[in-house]
Structure 1
Amino acid sequence: MLPLDVPLLPDTEYCRLVRNLGDRIASVHFSLFDPAIPDARHESLHISVDELIGWLASLPGVRRLALLNSRFHAPDAYAPEGLDNLIKRLGRLTDAGVVDGIVYADVYMLFALAEAAPELCARLEAVPSVNTCIDSADKAFAHFDAIDAAGFRQPGRLVLDRSLNRRLPKLRRTVAALRQVRPRLSIVLMANEGCLYQCPFKPAHDAHIAHARIAPEAASAFGRNVKLGCQRLFHDDPGRLLASPFIRPEDQSGYVGLADVIKLCGRSRGPGVMRRIVEAYARGSFFGNLLLLNDSMEPLAGVLRLPNEDIPSDFLRRVTTCAKDCARCGWCSELAESLLVRTGPQIAPLGRMEEP
């Protein structure tokens, strides 16, 4: 099985698990834990920079990447006064030797930091977020050029777009092209985001999350997703759950030689849930509701149950060799309907819901 990239959460038992997994953990990613510093979540717990240094120092020997991955920022966030708190916090972490780089989605922020704190930037890697949707070598090269122009260190790792999890020929070509010019670049695949395949909501969804950090009164994304978005589509056609480009714990071996690290998400779901997820991928198996492993699907786990242990052994082969024309194929829909148990009140039909 491949090493894991996991969230850092300020929880004693969770960090003990991560430490005990030893070299199964390649890296951790972490919020800066300051609500004034946006990342790709609606809200953030606040802890002091000294506390954060302590938690990061408790995980020696792994790469540590700070999340600065909001899709966009308010214009005044790029001004020197808007960057002051961010620069101070990153500077403290860098001086303490507990951070290797930042994960970004907004390239304007890279250049704003480069203008305000060039010496700090020269000490940090800039790593493109999975939400930059890099699915080809030329897209990666464009980001590498921007990183170089901004004066950051080049990334030692790259998270490829989740769609490549199900497009193995393109994944092979992309990885080969990257390794030809950057043989030491670590290739990372996101395993358990659980979004719709090639999610058509994603650009707007990422924008809504970023907007909610700027204007908290706008934070109603879950209700919107139930009424108008992915939760409704998953619920109404459960085949979309299986068509999602997740990687099951049991299927990690199918990516050996193509990727170097498996990335796990779910930091907003709390340390108890993350312990279960990390343990499943470290073990290579999970017995229970598949929806509980996947971040975007988990809200439906109370009304839909899809037993992971009943998914057939040829699942990975089937979903990585199809044409992705789900409406014509129907294999995932037939499998989902044969396994799915509806366990609670269902989402009302479109046109019959109250406003969220």
Structure 2
Amino acid sequence: MKLYVPHVGHMEGLEDLLSGSEDIYAVYMAGTPDYVGTGRTNLSAPGLEEIREQTEYAHDKGVKMEIVLNSSCMGGQHLTPQGFNKINWYFDRLNDIGIDSITIAEPYFVEMLTKDYDMEVVVSVLSFVDSPQKAEFYEELGADTIVVDPVVNRDFTRLEAIKDSVSCDLKLLVNEGCLYQCPFRYAHFNFFSHANGPGPKLNVLDDYYYYKCLSLRINDPQQLIKSPWIRPEDLKDYEHITDTFKIGGRTHFTNWILNNVRAYTDRSYDGNLMDLLDCPRDIRDLFFIPNKELEGSLNQWKKCSKVCSKCGYCKRLTEKIVQVYSLDGMQQTLQPLNNTDGTI
């Protein structure tokens, strides 16, 4: 199994990460946002010398280095002469450093990197590859690896069709805690791409999408069950699709990342599933989902038509196993989710 692991972007974090596990195949981190943004908040923005130092350290440990430049919107800057030259210069520097792979979402960059560089070209989840047709298009553009849109993580017919339609490698994101079929997904990642990319910087009042998404999951906990995560115990069901898996969460602390590495390496986790999900702490600290009680749920999802109003399985499962943390005086206790409408 090839496990791609998030890294916050500074040397101290990388040292802690690689000294904490020998089961890491590759680490990935954001690049310098002055050139190309990313679809996530940057907790650290390493310069080229920092990237060089960390890449050399990872390579000394036998670990590959991947840079994430998966802005879903460049505002057209990359198609201007000035923007192209600036980005091309940055790609040159990363190539000189010896970066193993670059994750991008912009189709133009796929062709650009394929034609001029030796780095592996990885198509991001923010390219939303959820069908064999999209996978074929990106492979024709030059993709070496495609990170499949997690929205189809439980649709094995679709996954198998994608697998059969291309010869490039596939990678699956295992612990995304986002809403299934999220209506804010495109707009939110476009917002992040501008907020965490080249200027001009945005002067926004608040992140509407973040708080709206948060409230939907708090008020309707079945959305947590519907999220397209893959349990450590269920990796075996995906081995005919790929042997390459990605842990999301490059904004989290090293101990959280290493806990995920252990769980997915051991293919077992006896605890709260929320501990593993890449989702806001506001939700992780509110709900308890006993991971072991989810055994067998994948068999139901494999045959599910994804018409929730007719199925109701996730709703029933939520009411059966999900618990809520509450404050009883000064002590935090767990309470069952016994109501029928899913609200707290």
- TM-score, length-scaled by structure 2: 0.82
Cα distance change of structure 1 residues 219 and 321 upon mapping to structure 2, 3 Å threshold: farther
Q: Which residue of 2 aligns with 1:270?
A: 253
How far apart are the structure 1 equivalents of 2:315 and 2:11? 39
Q: Matches of 2:121 and 2:51 in 1, distance apart? A: 20
**Code of the aligned partner of 2:305:** A
Inter-CA distance 294–267: structure 2 relative to 1 (3 Å threshold): same
Give the superposition deviation at 1:34: 4.1
Residue in structure 2 matching 1:341, options 316, 320, 323: 323
2:57 corresponding residue in structure 1:
58
- The answer to whether the aligner puts 1:316 opposite 2:298 as a matched pair is yes
| Structure 1: distance between partners of 2:5 and 2:226 | 24
Equivalent residues of 2:184, 2:209 under 8 A apart:
no
CA distance in structure 2 between the partners assigned to 1:190 and 1:321 by the alignment? 21
Q: Which amino acid aligns with 1:314?
A: G
Unaligned runs of 5+ in 2: 328-344
* SS across alignment from 1:166: coil
Identity of aligned residues (%): 27
The answer to whether the Cα contact below 8 Å between 2:272 and 2:290 also exists between their aligned partners in 1 is yes
Name segments (4+ residues, structure 1) moved above 6 Å. none
Work out which of the residue numbers 148, 155, 169 in structure 2 matches 1:186: 169
Contact 2:271/2:292 (8 A) holds in 1: yes
What CA distance in whole angstroms lies between the structure 2 residues aligned with 1:120 and 1:109?
Answer: 10
Question: Displacement, 1:305?
Answer: 2.0
Say if 1:186 and 1:260, in contact at 8 Å, map to a contact too: no
Could you list the per-position Cα deviations for residues 123-170 of structure 1 after superposition, in whole angstroms to 9, with x for gaps in the alignment?
A: 33332111111122221221233x3xxxxxx33322112122101122
The DSSP-based 3-state class of the residue aligned with 1:216 is coil
Q: What's 1:248 paired with?
A: 231
Quote the residue 2:48 is aligned against.
49
Residue number among 138, 141, 149 corresponding to 1:143 in the alignment: 138
Structure 2 distance, partners of 1:273, 1:85, is 36
**In the aligned structure 2, how far is the partner of 1:307 from the partner of 1:14?**
30
Structure 1 gap ranges (5+): 148-153, 346-356
**Paired residue for 1:353?**
none
The question of whether the paired residues in 1 share the 8 Å contact of 2:78 and 2:87 is answered with no
Residue 314 of structure 1: how far off its partner (Å) = 0.7
- Match of 1:134? 129
Q: Distance in 2 between matches of 1:15 and 1:79?
A: 39
Q: Which has the higher helix share?
A: 1
Sort the Cα spacing of 1:271 and 1:190 in 2 relative to 1 into closer, same or farther, 3 A: same
Compared CA separation, residues 317 and 276, structure 1 to 2 (3 A): same
Whether the 8 Å contact between 2:222 and 2:318 is mirrored in structure 1 is yes
How many residues are aligned here?
A: 321
Equivalence for 2:312: 330
* Aligned counterpart, 1:216: 202
Cα deviation digits, residues 13-39 of structure 1 (max 9, x gap): 6545446744x4333322114455411
Report what 1:159 is aligned to.
147
Separation (CA, whole Å) in 1 of partners of 2:269 and 2:202? 36
Is 2:33 the partner of 1:38? no
Within the alignment, does 1:303 sit opposite 2:286 as a pair? yes
